[in-house]
A and B are shown apart, each in its own frame.
Chain A
Amino acid sequence: MSESKKNFVEGVRSEIPLLIGVFPFGMIYGALALNAGLSNLASQMMSSIVFAGSAQFITAQLVHDAAPGLVVVLTIAVVNLRHMLYSASLAPYLKDLSIRWKFLLSYLLTDEAYAPSILHFEKEGLATHKHWFLLGAGFSLWFTWQVSTAIGIFLGAAIPESWSLDFALPLTFIAMVVPVLKKMPMVAAALSAGVVALLAYSLPFKLGLILAALVGIAVGTLLESRQTAEVKK
């Protein structure tokens, strides 16, 4: 087996445990996007055009709430800002690749592809062919995400409207937030964002959401900076 193929297979293999968790998540996304009022085609295409789990759930929620397009796009941007961190962290390992490779790997750069790849790169260093590992991890995730979305859309179409499935979206968000609430600044960020969202609910164009998110981010960041400063004293 050639070096590149070996790296690709290794990438796929490292991704498998993550795929087990991603599969039901993709199905839930498909069913909920459909339920939120997106067409079959739009629900499916979002999984390849945006290709970012939490941003897709949030888009479905905001479209369901009839938020203005600009606010939805702005929210997607804020939610996906973290990808710049992954981009920065992988950059030294990918710097010698052609622009085509950089395009392809950037498109496939999700949380789930990043995690095993950075571990692999840190271990292997700047060996050639290692980008095939990221391709293997990224592509297997991409493929799983498309298939699970399709199955979710298929199943979602069979669920009657009287089931209030729209409530599953906020429940999904609860399942994403609660496990990260381990430290005080995180809890404060979540609570302050939530309270501001309630206070600013009547602002037009769902701007309350953006305001609340910014306040939450600021509160968390300030509290953490203060804690770090106190430890240093």
Chain B
Amino acid sequence: MNIWLIMLAGGLITFGMRFSLIYLFGKFEISETLRRALHYVPPAVLSAIIFPELLIRNSSLDISLGNTRLLAGLVAILTAWFSRSTLLTILVGMAALFLMQWL
């Protein structure tokens, strides 16, 4: 699919969800279970992207010290945990990857 079609469809869906209950006020309620489930969407989707990015190299699982992205990712996870800063996490993670690729 063309990137413009993706953006258009994604944008329309996003707008639709923002508009949905403002428009349907009083006619539709969000159940407690759905409400609860929505909290888990960001960590689930993002982890489903992060794990393969760090652990899969050339289409196979690579858990070794030679996997620089895995090691740099672990450094970034620690940085994120202690600093809670997006910018610092990216900078430290990138720096770790550079260093390891150079060494």
Contacts and interface: CB of A to CB of B under 8 A. Distances in A.
A160 interface: no
Given A42-B4, A76-B13, A201-B56, A174 B40 contact: no
Interface residues of B, number: 69
A84 B17 contact: yes
Interface in A173-194: 173-181, 185-186, 189-194
A94 B94 CA distance: 44
A220 B43 contact: yes
B47 A193 contact: yes
Interface residues of A, number: 95
A217 interface: yes
Interface of A: 21, 24-25, 28, 38-39, 42, 45-46, 49-52, 54-55, 58-59, 61, 63, 68-70, 72-73, 75-88, 90-92, 94-95, 102-103, 105-107, 109, 163-165, 167-181, 185-186, 189-198, 201-202, 208-209, 212-221, 224-225
Interface of B: 1-11, 13-15, 17-26, 29-30, 33, 35-56, 59, 61, 69, 72-73, 76-77, 80-81, 84-87, 89-90, 93-94, 97-98, 101
